[in-house]
Structure 1
Amino acid sequence: MSLTKQQINKLEQSLLRMKKQLEEQQELRESQESLQESTGEISSVDSHFGDMGSELYDREMAMALDENQEEILEDINEALQRIEEGTYGKCVDTGEEIPYERLKALPYAKRTVEAQAVADKEGKISDQYEIEEPSFVRNGEKNLEDSRMRTVDEIMDTHGNASNKGEDA
């Protein structure tokens, strides 16, 4: 059963609201990052390893969220384009109708649930999570470790601990 014009209009409004919200969040984060950069510490020499680790974790989390939001924004723009082209609501792989209930839950969906499961299995979506940087891969195997990583103990042995200045080891 094809989507009615009323359903498409309702979904389009939902997509536009989502797009506006994501763009506002991106602008807010960019302004916060700019403020953080202008008031942040110049050097990490006196910082404790735990503080640096927390800061690194926060930055990586923010980057992951930004990347996820950019992908969703791209999906939303593609869905709006499909509305203009008249192909919205049809699976990009099979051409089958995407159920209205799925589109209400995920207005930027481009596949039926079944086609999405196949796409995920074939790696059409999950490829973005594979690490392809050579430093992360050993002997042609997919590996989530980085041989450049060192433990805190190794770093402390090499550089000492900034928080124990003046103390005997």
Structure 2
Amino acid sequence: MSLSKQQINELEQNLLKMKKQLEEQQELREKDESLQESTGEISSYDNHFGDMGSELYDREMAMALDENQEETLEDINEALQRIEEGTYGKCVDTGEEIPYERLKALPYAKRTVQAQEKADEEGKTDDYEIGEPSFVRKGEGKYEDSRMQSVDEIMETHGNASNKGEDA
């Protein structure tokens, strides 16, 4: 069953409210960051390594949150665009109707639950596929970290000082 105009209007208002909140949060964070930068210490000479580690962790956490909010904001803008185009509430992969209950919980959903699960399994997110992380290689049905090798594997690959010249 298609969404009614009243349901679409309600969901659009929710999307606009979410968008406004995210934009306000971004603005506050940007002001906070610029204030931190202007009052920050010039040198880290007298800082303890633990303090610098905590500061790095805090910055990485803030960056991850920023990235997540930017992605959510992008999803919200795409949902608002779909409302304008008249395609809101239809799965972008299958064309099936997205249930109102799902849209009420996640107004910027672009897929049905089943299509989203399939996209997640295939490693697809939106317009691109997730590639293999740089240090990871496929092993026998599992991922292995190529940085983690046993001594035997390293010697087999690179040799050692005592047998290095034997092959030459």
Equivalent pairs, count: 144
Higher percent of residues as strand: 2
Offset at residue 131 of structure 1 (A): 6.9
Calculate the TM-score normalised by the size of structure 2: 0.78
Alpha-carbon RMSD: 2.5
Bigger RCO of structures 1 and 2 (CA < 8 A, at least 6 apart): 1
Any stretches of 5+ residues in structure 2 without a counterpart?
Answer: 149-168
Calculate the TM-score normalised by the size of structure 1: 0.77
1:32 alignment counterpart: 32
Identity of aligned residues (%): 77
1:9 alignment counterpart: 9
Relative distance call for 1:146 and 1:52 in structure 2 (3 A) is farther
How do 1:19-168 and structure 2 match up within 5 A?
A: 19-125=19-125, 132=133, 134=134, 137=135
Amino acid at match of 1:14: N
Task: Summarize deviations over 1:53-82 as a string: whole Å, max 9, x none.
Answer: 100000000000000000000000000000
Any stretches of 5+ residues in structure 1 without a counterpart?
Answer: 148-169
When Rg is computed on C-alpha atoms for both structures, the one with the higher figure is 2
Secondary structure at the aligned position of 1:96 is classed as coil
Offset at residue 98 of structure 1 (A): 0.1
Determine the C-alpha separation between the residues in 1 that align with 2:104 and 2:136. Answer: 44
Determine the C-alpha separation between the residues in 1 that align with 2:146 and 2:137. Answer: 13
Higher percent of residues as helix: 1
Secondary structure at the aligned position of 1:35 is classed as helix
Please identify runs of 4+ aligned residues in structure 1 that moved more than 3 A.
126-132, 138-147
Determine the C-alpha separation between the residues in 2 that align with 1:65 and 1:128. Answer: 22
